[in-house]
């Protein structure tokens, strides 16, 4: 078979792999999807990132969705991000103790039931700006699509939603009034700020902690009262902002394992979860995971070895793909060695 004919020679030819995948025959009555996994930089064949991205878009004549996975720390995040976003998908980066099977399986659960694809929202004559997400994702069963932004002029405008149901085109029009005064529902600006923060955090993950990106995250966080890795634990200079985990090992160590109730609860956008690892337990394997009430894994917050101490982490209400979780009741589950405990979290939007 095709799979058994494959073998490794220690080189990474991303360009040829994409050409082979995108040159397949695709049907036009279903949503076509390609999952691309790599653990390295391009080291053979075409190695110019811009050309690889351009080639992929040219070869993708069937408009297949391309979801990229970068495994480990030695991957080109800009390349994988540009490949995914340029072809209707999104990137996922797997590091440390993350489970490849778990994260790929989560992706397949999400994309197995497409409802509406090729989404576009337009508002004729409205001068809008700073809108997020930059590209609307496909709408899958059980999920929602939310676009948030700002505008300069007021009045009544026609909002048009375009999309495809299999091979059929759908148009929906709705006249909406855009007021010339601020105010109204106070939660709306925070929703927009959270969307922009998520976008900026994605840029930081791809391009590194550039000061202008970090400054924007901190400014939005303080202005709208949204917890982020740069503000929630800013007093801990040794904290890694990429994880959002604060570990306090100063002073007396805890005497027992514990998973504390998250705060605030119920919460909107983000909540802090704290737990302890007692003295004498040594460095042990710890996992902290979020599940919905059907038992479906939503997000892995912690999966690593940790020493005794007090730990806190912020969950920003998103799943593994960076998409916002729906309002409802969730379970946070702590497994630390043989210790197991869970708590209920209530997300309200």
CATH number of the domain that residue 83 is part of: 3.40.50.410
In a domain, residue 120? The reply is: yes
- Write the CATH number for 306: 2.60.40.2550
For residue range 149-175, list pLDDT tens digits in order: 889 888 899 999 998 887 788 888 999
CA distance readout (Å), 112 to 39, 109, 136, 210, 302: 25, 6, 18, 36, 27
In terms of pLDDT, which residue wins out, 1 or 49? 49
Supply the pLDDT for residue 26.
82
Do 85 and 120 lie in one domain? The reply is no
Tell me, yes or no, whether 65 and 134 share the same domain: no
Where is the domain boundary, 95, 123, 146? 95
What pLDDT, on the 0 to 100 scale, is given for residue 100? 77
**Segment 283-330, tens digit of pLDDT:** 888 999 999 887 788 888 988 888 888 888 999 898 877 788 888 889
How far, in Å, are 143, 151, 246, 324 from residue 348 at the CA level?
16, 26, 25, 12
Residue-level pLDDT at 183: 62
Q: How far apart are CA 81 and CA 208, in angstroms?
A: 13
Q: What's the order of all strands across the beta sheet hosting 33-38?
A: 33-38, 65-71, 91-94
Please indicate, yes or no, whether residues 244 and 327 belong to a single structural domain of this protein: yes
Final residue before a domain boundary, out of 166, 181, 196:
181
**Pair (10, 74) in one structural domain:** yes
Q: Is residue 135 part of a domain?
A: yes
The stretch 210-218 carries a mean pLDDT of 88
226 contacts 197 by C-beta, under 8 angstroms: yes
68 lies in the same domain as 118: no
CA distance 143 to 90: 16
The reply to whether 324 and 247 lie within a common domain is yes
State pLDDT tens for residues 130-148.
988 887 878 877 667 788 8
Question: How many CB atoms lie under 10 A from the CB of residue 171?
Answer: 9
Identify whether residues 343 and 294 lie together within a single domain.
yes
pLDDT for 240: 38
Residue 107 lies in a domain: no
Q: Which residues contact 189 (CB under 8 A, 6 or more apart)?
A: 224
Whether residues 30 and 71 fall in one domain = yes
Residue 219 lies in a domain: no
Q: Average pLDDT in the 74-83 region?
A: 84
Q: What's the confidence (pLDDT) of residue 289?
A: 92
Which residue is associated with the tokens 């059929």? 168
List, for residues 27-50, the tens digit of each pLDDT value: 777 778 899 988 888 888 888 888
In this prediction, residues 82-105 reach a mean pLDDT of: 79
| Structural domain includes residue 330 | yes
Pair 144, 81 in one domain: no
Q: Is 243 part of any domain?
A: yes
Model confidence over 243-279: pLDDT tens digits?
345 555 445 778 888 898 888 888 887 888 989 898 8
Residues 6+ positions from 313 with CB-CB distance below 8 Å:
243, 244, 245, 246, 272, 273, 274, 288, 301, 302
Distance between CA atoms of 146 and 194, rounded to whole angstroms?
12
Count up the domains in the chain and report the number.
3
| pLDDT tens-digit readout, 169-190 | 888 899 989 888 766 556 778 8
Supply the pLDDT for residue 333. 92
Whole-Å CA distances, 41 to 12, 57, 63, 76, 266:
7, 19, 25, 6, 43
pLDDT tens track for 104-136: 777 777 777 777 888 888 998 889 899 888 878
Q: Which domain holds residue 70?
A: 3-95
Same domain, 254 and 282: yes
Q: Let me know whether 242 and 340 are in one domain.
A: yes
Highest mean pLDDT among 11-15, 26-30, 72-76, 329-333: 329-333
Task: Please determine, for residue 235, whether its predicted confidence score (pLDDT) is greater than 60.
Answer: no
Residue 129 domain-assigned (yes or no):
yes
pLDDT of residue 236: 41
Please check whether residues 251 and 338 belong to one and the same domain. Answer: yes
pLDDT, position 233 = 41
Q: To the nearest 10°, report the CA torsion of 333, 244, 135, 174.
A: 70
């Amino acid at each position: 078979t095709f799979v058994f004919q494959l073998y490794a020679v220690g080189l990474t030819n991303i360009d040829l792999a994409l050409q082979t995948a995108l040159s397949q025959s695709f049907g036009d009555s279903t949503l076509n999807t390609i999952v691309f996994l790599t653990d390295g930089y391009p080291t053979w064949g075409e190695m110019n990132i811009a050309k690889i991205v351009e080639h992929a878009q040219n070869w993708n004549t069937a408009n297949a969705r391309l979801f990229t996975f970068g495994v480990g720390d030695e991957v080109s995040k800009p390349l994988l991000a540009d490949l995914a976003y340029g072809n209707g998908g999104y990137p996922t980066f797997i590091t440390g103790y993350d489970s490849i099977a778990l994260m790929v399986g989560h992706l397949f659960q999400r994309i197995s039931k497409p409802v509406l694809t090729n989404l576009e929202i337009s508002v004729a004559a409205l001068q809008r700006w700073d809108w997020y997400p930059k590209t609307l994702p496909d709408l899958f069963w059980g999920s929602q699509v939310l676009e948030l932004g700002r505008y300069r002029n007021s009045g009544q405008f026609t909002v048009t939603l375009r999309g495809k149901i299999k091979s059929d085109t759908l148009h929906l029009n709705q006249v909406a009034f855009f007021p010339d005064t601020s105010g109204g529902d106070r939660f709306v600006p925070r929703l927009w700020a959270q969307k922009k923060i998520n976008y900026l955090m994605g840029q930081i993950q791809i391009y590194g902690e550039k000061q202008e990106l970090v400054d924007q995250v901190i400014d939005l966080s303080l202005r709208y009262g949204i917890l982020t890795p740069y503000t929630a634990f800013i007093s801990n200079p040794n904290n890694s902002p990429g994880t959002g985990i604060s570990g306090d090992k100063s002073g007396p160590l805890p005497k027992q394992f514990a998973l504390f109730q998250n705060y605030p609860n119920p919460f909107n956008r983000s909540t802090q979860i704290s737990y302890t690892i007692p003295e004498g337990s040594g460095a042990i394997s710890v996992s902290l995971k979020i599940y919905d009430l059907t038992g479906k894994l939503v997000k892995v917050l912690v999966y690593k070895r940790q020493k005794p101490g007090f730990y806190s982490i912020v969950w920003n209400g998103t799943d593994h793909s960076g998409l916002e979780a729906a309002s409802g009741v969730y379970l946070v589950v702590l497994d630390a060695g043989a210790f197991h405990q869970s708590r209920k979290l209530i997300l309200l939007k």
